[in-house]
Chains A and B, each alone.
Chain A
Amino acid sequence: EAQVTQNPRYLITVTGKKLTVTCSQNMNHEYMSWYRQDPGLGLRQIYYSMNVEVTDKGDVPEGYKVSRKEKRNFPLILESPSPNQTSLYFCASSDRRKLFFGSGTQLSVL
């Protein structure tokens, strides 16, 4: 089954403790992206990747890092999480016609 898999689904952490949210797709898509969803703000793009070793900033990249060492994986790294990064995060990949989204990761930073 074609899918985008994110883990974990829920995460509670404390300020400053490094964390990684994983994202994997099995559709051989070149394009992958991370979004955060916040009430009243909709979806905002954090980072995206057009292909392996090619990443670029989206609208809200501050406080986040990504890497794309292989086509299927696109982890989101928070080196020093802060409470304002409490949000619902979505990974997505694209076949150029539409985006395929993961089920989301609800992150709470205390």
Chain B
Amino acid sequence: GDSVTQMEGPVTLSEEAFLTINCTYTATGYPSLFWYVQYPGEGLQLLLKATKADDKGSNKGFEATYRKETTSFHLEKGSVQVSDSAVYFCALLFRPGSQGNLIFGKGTKLSVKP
């Protein structure tokens, strides 16, 4: 069945370091792909998304490109800040128009040290 695999954490970086969090997926058809972020003590919120191959989602300095050939949607940021410390979830939607069918990865905890 459809699934999402993301790199296990935790990931600890120094401020201004480059971030990559890997995400690969298995799906039939052409899913939409998402990154959600969960800050400490809060619920998840959408960070960025891409709905078709070669789309690049971006927000708050984060980027991710939908790579159909490698079935990947890796999250990157050129220079992380302490405020980026959070848990990041990759997700895929296999039924367009219905967010209820989001499949989440297990999450990757990021800690950024000053």
A residues whose Cβ falls under 8 Å from a Cβ of B:
4, 31, 33, 40-43, 45, 48, 50, 90, 92, 94, 96-104
A90 engages B99 (CB within 8 Å): no
- By secondary structure, the A interface counts as strand
Task: Report if B61 contacts A (CB, 8 A).
Answer: no
Residues from chain A with a CB closer than 8 A to the CB of B49 are: 98
The count of residues in chain B whose C-beta lies closer than 8 Å to any C-beta of chain A is 19
Residues from chain A with a CB closer than 8 A to the CB of B114 are: none
B99 engages A99 (CB within 8 Å): yes
B residues whose Cβ falls under 8 Å from a Cβ of A:
34, 36, 41-46, 49, 89, 97-100, 102, 104-107
Residues from chain A with a CB closer than 8 A to the CB of B43 are: 4, 90, 92, 101-104
B41 engages A103 (CB within 8 Å): yes
A42 engages B89 (CB within 8 Å): yes
- Using A4-B43, A43-B44, A92-B43 as known contacts, say yes or no to A99 and B106 having CB atoms under 8 A apart: no
B104 engages A96 (CB within 8 Å): no
